[in-house]
Amino acid sequence: MTLIDHASIKPAAAPAKTNSIEQIRYGCAIGAQQTVAAIPRAIPITHCGPGCTDKQFMNLSFYNGFQGGGYGGGAVIPSTNASEREVIFGGGERLDELIDAALKILDADLFVVLTGCISDLVGDDIGGVVSPYQKRGVPIVYAETGGFRGNNFTGHELVTRAIIDQHVGPYEGTRDADLVNVWSLLPYHNTFWRGDLTEIKRVLEGVGLRVNILFGPESKGISEWKAIPKAAFNIVLGPWLGVATARHLEAKYGQPFLHVPALPIGANATTAFLRQVLAFAGRKRRSARAEAFIAEEEARYYKYLEDFSDFYAEYWWGLPAKFAVVGDATYNLALTNFLVNQLGLIPGKQIITDNPPEEFRAGIVEHYRHIADDVSTDVEFEEDSYTIHQKLRATDFGHKAPIIFGTTWERDLAKELKGAIVEVGFPTSYEVVLSRSYVGYRGALTLLEKIYTTTVGASA
């Protein structure tokens, strides 16, 4: 009989925090060029070294659902391609030349100048270059987005604020009680943002609101941005991104905001979200239109769910019971919520990868602690894929193969764990994503299809 050394087969202990990141899960601040590209008829102008713009585009848009360049993104983006000359003598003149040339050949409702590390380190006076154009009435703003300022989430908030402060400007007029602004998913970085924002707009309009969705195909572009101060309030839909913007709008325009940390997936969560919004809007009396919309959406949703339940009940032996989610805070919380509350799956490991600001972390953890009436789970914050994978390896998923909601970086690991993988975040390099959505009433059904097609497909 062989003696088994139990110590040697114990799952590896969680590794110590490393000082490096392998397999990145975000871009740098100038990746917010994609925030600009997400606004219809807006064009970014980048003042950075050669390679920055292309790399951010290829990462955040191409190898992430193959989302395309759009009207003003991708190969359209004019860049100074700053070299040693711009380092030594400053790049102001070169940028001025580029803006002047861009105005001659590009047609946009708004240009946004984004700076990279070179300019921010050398200290180019970008305001000094851009403000003469602004004084001439050219629709142009600038944001200093050198990579050392943070990731593309940080860049997104810098760009958003730049547009509000430099282009939307002061507002003294009245508010429109039916109009709301939505601050939610990070465009492009979240692979499904186009479909998701479309669904969020659809359901809010369904209950009688009008929506400045601000980004994506359903946005009316800059005219919508100009109408931001007219909205009755702001909705921040996600655990942290957008809160800084909403606070700024509150200070600037006295506009209140409703913070809903969990992006709703499925009828239960979506209906609750809509009722919360309606209550915040001060609609005490339930409007017949809103209730009719909710009833109709729920009826359709549950009809499909009823059909799905045949499969779900009968195929139990082939379906995963425990899951892991690795991704940005917004999708991570939304998915965990849905999987636990709607599908009854057991949370195995949740890892948030977008480096949320410290002030939000304790609050985010609380949501996981109370994810359902009878389920409490935990969440970790980690950006390095080596560490993330070590943590997943060390997780006890029970005797059944787990399902991992993650990114392309988890593909090999899923094979190693003999589990299923659903790519739900950056980078999603093995999915072509157009209008697909995983949120709201309709997106939840698509998500169910995706999850269980992946699972049953694995046995073929």
Shorter beta-carbon distance to another protein: residue 87 or 138: 87
Pairing relationship of beta strands 176-183 and 231-237 according to DSSP bridges: parallel
Q: How far is it, in rounded angstroms, from Cα 456 to Cα 460?
A: 7
The region of 82-90, 142-150, 396-404, 452-460 touching another protein under the rule CB under 8 A is: 82-90
Minimum Å distance from CB 81 to another protein?
Answer: 14
Shorter beta-carbon distance to another protein: residue 89 or 315: 89
**Interaction between residue 146 and another protein (CB under 8 A):** no
Window 83-122: residues binding another protein (CB under 8 A):
84-90, 92, 121-122
Minimum Å distance from CB 324 to another protein?
Answer: 44
Q: What angle do CA 263, 265, 271 make, to 5 degrees?
A: 90
CB atoms inside a 10 Å sphere around CB 184: 23
Shorter beta-carbon distance to another protein: residue 91 or 443: 91
The region of 81-89, 207-215, 228-236, 431-439 touching another protein under the rule CB under 8 A is: 81-89
Q: Which residues contact 454 (CB under 8 A, 6 or more apart)?
A: 403, 420, 421, 422
Window 296-325: residues binding another protein (CB under 8 A):
none
The region of 78-86, 187-195, 199-207, 242-250 touching another protein under the rule CB under 8 A is: 78-86
Minimum Å distance from CB 91 to another protein?
Answer: 8
Minimum Å distance from CB 131 to another protein?
Answer: 17
Shorter beta-carbon distance to another protein: residue 91 or 402: 91
- Tokens encoding 422: 């659903």
The region of 80-88, 145-153, 226-234, 318-326 touching another protein under the rule CB under 8 A is: 80-88
Residue the block writes with tokens 């949703």: 301
Shorter beta-carbon distance to another protein: residue 89 or 311: 89
Q: How far is it, in rounded angstroms, from Cα 86 to Cα 84?
A: 5
Shorter beta-carbon distance to another protein: residue 124 or 382: 124
Window 120-139: residues binding another protein (CB under 8 A):
121-122, 124-125
Shorter beta-carbon distance to another protein: residue 109 or 124: 124
Peptide bond into 427 cis (omega under 30): yes
Burial pattern 258-275, b for ≥16 Cβ within 10 A else e, equals: bbbbbbbbbbbbbbebbb
Assign residue 23 a region (left: φ > 0; alpha: ψ between -120 and 50; beta: otherwise).
left
Virtual torsion, Cα 104, 106, 110, 113, nearest 10 deg: -80
Q: Which residues contact 104 (CB under 8 A, 6 or more apart)?
A: none
Burial pattern 112-146, b for ≥16 Cβ within 10 A else e, equals: bbbbbbbbbebebebeebbeebeeeeebbbbbbbb
Shorter beta-carbon distance to another protein: residue 81 or 454: 81
- In the complex, which residues of this chain contact another protein (CB under 8 A)? 84-90, 92, 121-122, 124-125
